[in-house]
Structure 1
Amino acid sequence: MATPAVEQQNSTNHANPMKDNKAAINSNDQGWKAKLNIPEKDMRIRTTDVTNTKGNEFEDFCLKRELLMGIFEKGWEKPSPIQEASIPIALTGRDVLARAKNGTGKTGAYAIPILERCDPNKDEVQAMIIVPTRELALQTSQICIEICKHIGCKVMVTTGGTNLKDDIMRLYDPVHCIIATPGRILDLMNKNLVKISKCGILVLDEADKLLSQDFKGMLDNIISFLPNDRQILLYSATFPCSVEEFMRRHLNNPYEINLMDELTLKGVTQYYAFVQERQKVHCLNTLFSKLQINQSIIFCNSTQRVELLAKKITELGYSCYYIHAKMNQQHRNRVFHDFRQGLCRNLVCSDLFTRGIDIQAVNVVINFDFPKHAETYLHRIGRSGRYGHLGVAINLITYDDRFSLHKIEQELGADIKPIPKQIDPALYVSQWHMEKDGDEENQSAGK
């Protein structure tokens, strides 16, 4: 016979089965999370561009556990505002028209819902992501591969400048999600080498560029191959008239998201320096000697000037790569990969590199040649201050650039200040904040 104390305990257990069940689930949750290979926590400060959320967690979106495992192992801790607004809507199958700043997590905003909806047991292409540049295609495919590694979805990237035969061989194996540039995927479709009649999701990343004259009519052709009940997710930082026209033609009652109360990233401080053309290299040399550069990207307005400047920088004794659209694709891939890995501190490039390229270590962007258009300027300086981190943009302005500077300031509502003699490291050096926080902790511990 049970003692009164045991009887009381038994009755309590039977009275609260839900409580026990919940405790067991929580225990299991802790178990699977504890086994994940999560990278070291990013302790750098972040701006409200990515922290101003409603407080949702990735688990709140009812995602497959295997997908959550990939998300956490990628180092993504909590959804950013664009992810929080976009993921639950995209999961319902509704068309989305989203406008958000560069570097605030747009790739995750569309990659997570489309990979959640892909069925690895079906041997068919179920989702397609179209991007304007080869480098962005490689970067996006790498992110998708990493976050879906526990699901079993097969991701393929296909771009111009690579061997078509390799793509054909790859398509003999199952492919569930394709990331492509417009010309190459259209070529594969027209040759009947890729079947997308069951492809229910189309993502257009950097949509304003895809709908520009550079890709005239290509997206209309691509969409003609898709089923009528497809879902279209359209993401961009800037929305010209071409995007609105496309939306009216192809999107069905899209859910609109606009997180662009201001255009430039809060973490990027912008300066200008008035110089003569012949003083630019000397000015750049001075900046290199004074700034605490983690990695920098330096923009020129032509491929010829990219190569000339890279040669000058190397002659000055600084490590430097360069990249532009006229280079061999294998060479471009190598430069892109090595710069991302941190093998070189400085990269000189043309506007090829302004679209979506995400290199977290870049904290300085220099416009050696000032752009003519606000849109180009916005995308260039957005290479710094990625995901709410800090960065600085410095513009070398000649007498001929003065009107462009004023026009871009007006159009973007940007505050581009004269460059001071000394730039405060607190504005662009994350390590400065981390060391300062560490010193303060040590001081308080000493007390």
Structure 2
Amino acid sequence: MKKFQALGLSETTLEALERKGFEEPTEVQALTIPLVIKNEKDIIAQAQTGTGKTAAFGLPLIEKLEPGRKKPQVIILAPTRELVVQVCEEMNSFKTGRATSIAAIYGGQSMGLQLKKLKQGVSIVVGTPGRVIDHIKRGSLALDELRFFVLDEADEMLNMGFADDIETILSHTNSSKRVLLFSATMPARIKKIAEEYMGEYDHVTTSRKVTEHLTDQIYFEVNQRDKFEALCRIIDMEPLFFGIVFCRTKVGVDEVANRLNERGYSAAGLHGDMSQGHRENILRAFKKKRLTILVATDVASRGIDVHNITHVINFAIPQDPESYVHRIGRTGRAGQRGTAITFITPSEFRKLGFIKRITKSDIEKRDLPAVDDIIQAKRAHIEGAVQKFLSEDQDNTEQYEDWARQMLQENEPEKVLAGVLQYAFQAQLNEDKYEEIVAPRQKRGRPVEDLERSGKTRLFIARGKVGGYSKPDIVSFITETSGVPSPRIDDVTLFDKFCFVTVSFDDAETILRAFQKIARGKRSLVTRAKSGKPRRGKPPFKKYGGKKRFRS
């Protein structure tokens, strides 16, 4: 905790950090925390998702709160309800021992509950721009006594079309507040907001990238009950599996670790209920590869610095993009390739899409290996190991050579070798130990074979590159017109005069209704994509002309 202490944080906060498993500050935390605590300037922090931004502003803000004030002292704007919940939970975990009230306000949550909490008085408000404006208009949220105004994922909010909403909210705040702006990039619109609404500011930039290019990112769709079987298949496909399996709960860690050991793997669990000594022993064994599989929670995994980890398995999908980036960062280090695998159930596609968009990760869908493929892979591993053994100079083999000659004199050579292989490897090559994995099904009872058949559908939009549109333009267009959040708009494929997007069935209905409404009886700009592959540059119906009709 000495490095955190040097940043100016109090003992109470240091105790909270130690309980959470923090060991030393990230780059953005080290740069930002002292500026928030000691200076009076505004701050622009340019940092990627997964670099610890929430703690960078959350820790010092809690320290700067003044007791006894009923009106909000801090407002934090985030682009999606998922991020709002994530930030709120993290902030609550930092306030240990303090009478600090934090309210999360976002669409989809009960307005009555939000009104009640705001009326009681809160110190910190974390919200989405739309719902914050709703409360400002109702008169239930006053921002005239703010001490801090925080924009989290500012560039993402602009991509989602929230620029005007941000400026509207800023216009209802007092001029004496400090503004803290966190963004991965610095587009022109953010610079404009800085010029208009920020005073003198410090600009800090971190060097860390979102994800390592040496990490292959994959996901498998699997039913909850089949996750353990899927895990075993992935482990068995690899000749030298050395990895971390992440679970959401301590109970989950114990269950998975115990089942792996029962199955014959070398595994151990790691979570917060273990003594420090026990944890250190497990980590020491893992580093020395006496254990090849470590099953852990996010908190317990903090500070793990083990080289040559081949795989990170998200047995449970991470709760937020920050956790995803932290987890997969355990592999793909020091020039070594690594693989990050995430198991998702059909109901978790929206969360996966959200993680992909915020982290800007290319997470590829794969099919789980079949039992025949695993057996073939194991046989190839065994043959390779035997060939390597035979190619090396071996000492003290005389007794085995005499024994081999005797057996070969009494039996056919093929049968001798077959018997030895069966005796040595029949347990490893036994197909019966693998259980059937049932393909996930939608509520309608149809099997899911790919993303488009997992409750998703494809939409056609009569706008493309020729009109000057980029992928963010298309996403903003749909978001502004329909209200469907950008994390739920996936796989934008842009052509010259049209494009396609993938959304859930429910969101598709919302988007289609919104565009039919503004079409006023004419052909809508958005329709369901027809089956089959359109020819490049040829939309499935008459092209649309004209200029952009929406803000970029």
Residue of structure 2 in register with 1:270 after alignment: 215
Q: Percent identity?
A: 21
Amino acid at match of 2:25: P
Residue of structure 2 in register with 1:220 after alignment: 167
Cα RMSD of the aligned pairs, angstroms, is 4.0
Alignment of 1:345 with 2:290, yes or no, is no
Name the larger-Rg structure.
2
Please tell me whether the aligned partners of residues 51 and 322 of structure 2 are also in contact (alpha carbons under 8 angstroms): no
Please tell me whether the aligned partners of residues 7 and 30 of structure 2 are also in contact (alpha carbons under 8 angstroms): no
Could you say what secondary structure the match of 1:381 adopts? coil
Q: Please show how residues 31-430 of structure 1 align to structure 2 within 5 Å.
A: 57-91=3-37, 92-260=39-207, 263-266=209-212, 269-271=214-216, 290=237, 294-295=245-246, 345=315, 347=317, 356=322, 364=340, 379-381=359-361
CA distance in 2, matches of 1:84, 1:223: 28
Deviations 1:382-440 (A, max 9, x none): 9xxxxxxxxxx6577xxxxxxxxxxxxxxxxxxxxxxxxxxxxxxxxxxxxxxxxxxxx
Alignment coverage as a number of residue pairs: 273
CA distance in 2, matches of 1:226, 1:214: 21
Residue of structure 2 in register with 1:42 after alignment: none
Amino acid at match of 1:67: T
Return the offset for 1:95. Answer: 0.9
Could you say what secondary structure the match of 2:180 adopts? strand
* Normalised TM-score (structure 2): 0.43
CA distance in 2, matches of 1:263, 1:378: 13
Please tell me whether the aligned partners of residues 83 and 109 of structure 1 are also in contact (alpha carbons under 8 angstroms): yes
CA distance in 2, matches of 1:166, 1:378: 29
Amino acid at match of 2:5: E
Amino acid at match of 1:255: D
CA distance in 1, matches of 2:321, 2:14: 27
Are residues 378 and 203 of structure 1, via their aligned partners in 2, closer, same or farther at CA, if it must alter by over 3 Å? closer
* Normalised TM-score (structure 1): 0.53
Please tell me whether the aligned partners of residues 71 and 145 of structure 2 are also in contact (alpha carbons under 8 angstroms): yes
Structure 1's unaligned 5+ residue stretches are 1-32, 34-55, 274-283, 297-338, 370-374, 383-392, 397-447
Could you say what secondary structure the match of 2:50 adopts? coil
Deviations 1:338-374 (A, max 9, x none): x9899x92559xxxx98556585567257999xxxxx
Are residues 340 and 69 of structure 1, via their aligned partners in 2, closer, same or farther at CA, if it must alter by over 3 Å? closer
Structure 2's unaligned 5+ residue stretches are 219-230, 248-296, 301-313, 331-339, 350-354, 367-552
Please tell me whether the aligned partners of residues 120 and 154 of structure 1 are also in contact (alpha carbons under 8 angstroms): no
CA distance in 2, matches of 1:288, 1:161: 40
CA distance in 2, matches of 1:160, 1:340: 28
Are residues 167 and 76 of structure 1, via their aligned partners in 2, closer, same or farther at CA, if it must alter by over 3 Å? same
Return the offset for 1:288. Answer: 8.2
Please tell me whether the aligned partners of residues 77 and 126 of structure 2 are also in contact (alpha carbons under 8 angstroms): yes
Identify which of structures 1 and 2 has the higher relative contact order when contacts are C-alpha pairs closer than 8 Å and 6+ apart: 1
Return the offset for 1:138. Answer: 1.1
CA distance in 2, matches of 1:357, 1:133: 16
Are residues 294 and 272 of structure 1, via their aligned partners in 2, closer, same or farther at CA, if it must alter by over 3 Å? closer
Amino acid at match of 1:124: K
The runs of at least 4 consecutive aligned structure 1 residues that moved more than 4 Å come to 284-289, 339-342, 353-363, 365-369, 375-378, 393-396
Deviations 1:126-163 (A, max 9, x none): 01111111111111111111111212211111111011
Return the offset for 1:211. Answer: 2.1
Please tell me whether the aligned partners of residues 127 and 177 of structure 1 are also in contact (alpha carbons under 8 angstroms): yes
CA distance in 2, matches of 1:221, 1:288: 53
Are residues 185 and 132 of structure 1, via their aligned partners in 2, closer, same or farther at CA, if it must alter by over 3 Å? same
Deviations 1:180-239 (A, max 9, x none): 111111111111001221012011111101122432411001111110121111112222
Deviations 1:274-317 (A, max 9, x none): xxxxxxxxxx9986874867259xxxxxxxxxxxxxxxxxxxxx
